[in-house]
Structure 1
């Protein structure tokens, strides 16, 4: 007696036999190489982030520590987690408790944090998306998902115009997390609920000399 599984797999094999051979590479006409002046790219990125209900702050490289400390203070973060490779000078103006993350710290302990500060790999202005790739200054995925506040530092020089340009800057062998505003869902009666799958509050600190 033939099982349902065998029937399905048999149909798949038949379909593969009838399918034409794909010897030629698939042509992909992606839009690439798009650029915008720094000011326009910053304005577009900021507009998209705000539209996603993220909080945006800009600063120079020298003002990074004070801007981060100000954001943490305003959101009442007294205990903050950071990845092991984060530039320690970024927390020099912060007077709260800092926990340096490691793989052996369990998720419940991360849940006790008020917030987290990370760097980022790439940004996409057109979609307001931030890419994290798990590098030492960005940390493991749990660190940026469990605490309720995420302060993410983005260099304007790492913000590309569109998705193809942004993806081209990523290492394909690294774990990639895409962030577009605070975590939110509208699955229940189409009502937006924030903080379901990640931080309820996202503060993006954009470093630029403009």
Structure 2
């Protein structure tokens, strides 16, 4: 008997011949008191994102206003060597019209090549106010997962109408067959000596543009 078989044998011995699965509690709140995109939800989302050390900017709902906000967001980070940005293929041209050196992702750039690009601009599919979470689903507006994990700065546009209240509401709107990425603030960990380190598993800087 190898180690795996021994572990499984012990589990079967502990559970008995006819183990009964413990009931899963589902008494969580499924219906919100607020409609998607309501002011209360947007204010709470902004508060959560700020608490997670994300930078939040507000803009109008039209593409040109969003483009101005994207340019304003990246302007402080720009240097002669770091003026490039990559975008998801479905991002409207007006969002990045004021940027120089924009690369539209075609899926061919490797992780090493993406690492040379300092910023990425994407949209989102929804945001959850209660947890300050933004969801990406791999559609053309959100882009493939690699472009949102490798560049050091992620500029993500969240439309007000896509802000919902709770996690159950958000999950109900997502297609579980898609490659989902859930973002709650910049990438950070405190695994080593409880010291917060940002940029370990993804972008060090998250800039959220709340549009509408």
Once the 2 structures are TM-superposed, how far is the Cα of residue 175 of structure 1 from its aligned partner?
Answer: 1.0
Give the TM-score, by structure 2 length: 0.89
Partner of 1:30: 28
Q: Secondary structure at the match of 1:131?
A: strand
- Count of residues in correspondence between the two structures: 204
Residue pairs, 1:55-204, within 5 angstroms = 55-62=55-62, 63-76=65-78, 77-94=82-99, 96-204=100-208
Distance 1:69 1:3 in 2: 60
1:50–1:56 Cα contact (<8 Å) kept: yes
Distance 2:21 2:56 in 1: 50
Q: Which runs of 5+ in 2 are unaligned?
A: none
Partner deviation per Cα, 1:75-119 (whole Å, 9 max, x = no partner): 21510001112112211222x101111222111111111200000
1:131–1:178 Cα contact (<8 Å) kept: yes
Once the 2 structures are TM-superposed, how far is the Cα of residue 196 of structure 1 from its aligned partner?
Answer: 1.1
Aligned-residue Cα RMSD (Å) equals 1.9
Once the 2 structures are TM-superposed, how far is the Cα of residue 16 of structure 1 from its aligned partner?
Answer: 6.2
Q: Secondary structure at the match of 2:17?
A: helix
1:116–1:144 Cα contact (<8 Å) kept: yes
Partner of 1:40: 40
Distance 1:3 1:206 in 2: 55
Partner deviation per Cα, 1:28-51 (whole Å, 9 max, x = no partner): 333112033622111111100000
Distance 1:27 1:42 in 2: 29
Distance 2:34 2:71 in 1: 31
Distance 2:61 2:143 in 1: 21
Partner of 2:4: 5
Give the TM-score, by structure 1 length: 0.90
Partner of 2:17: 17
